[in-house]
Amino acid sequence: MDKGGNRIGTINSFDKETGMASVLYNDRDGDVTQMLPFATFNGEYKVPETGAKVLVVHLSNGSEMGIILGTYWNEGNPARGHSTYHKHLGEGASFDYNAGTGVLNISAGHLEFTSADDNGSFTAAGLMADIRAIKKRLDMA
């Protein structure tokens, strides 16, 4: 494999123990890198999906070592909506904040809120059921 420079590839495998991944370069006859670390931005971490397109920067010293900068938006993986901030968490879960409206939208198949001071937890579905029950009682009054 040609060493050094920026490359675009796809996640081939991921090691949950080390947080590192190997990258497949289809344009290099299917060459696969050694396990590479990820750059972290703002302390955020997300397990990459196998097959996700990523940008990799390889060191110029002739070694295969490099660092995965992460995924990117393009026509095949478009930025969703026009939010000021979007964080895709995988499997349909995301955060979207629109600074123009001040609205924060949290999307997921199931939402659970847990208190940091161990005062319990609740789910969004449970909260909505409680609100509907209260509304029904108020409507009957």
Global pTM value: 0.62
Tokens (6 digits) for 5: 């420079």
Task: Judge residue 33's burial from the number of C-beta atoms within 10 Å of its C-beta, 0-12 exposed, 13-18 middle, 19 or more buried.
Answer: buried
- pLDDT tens by residue, 67-109: 999 887 777 766 665 567 778 787 888 888 887 888 898 999 9
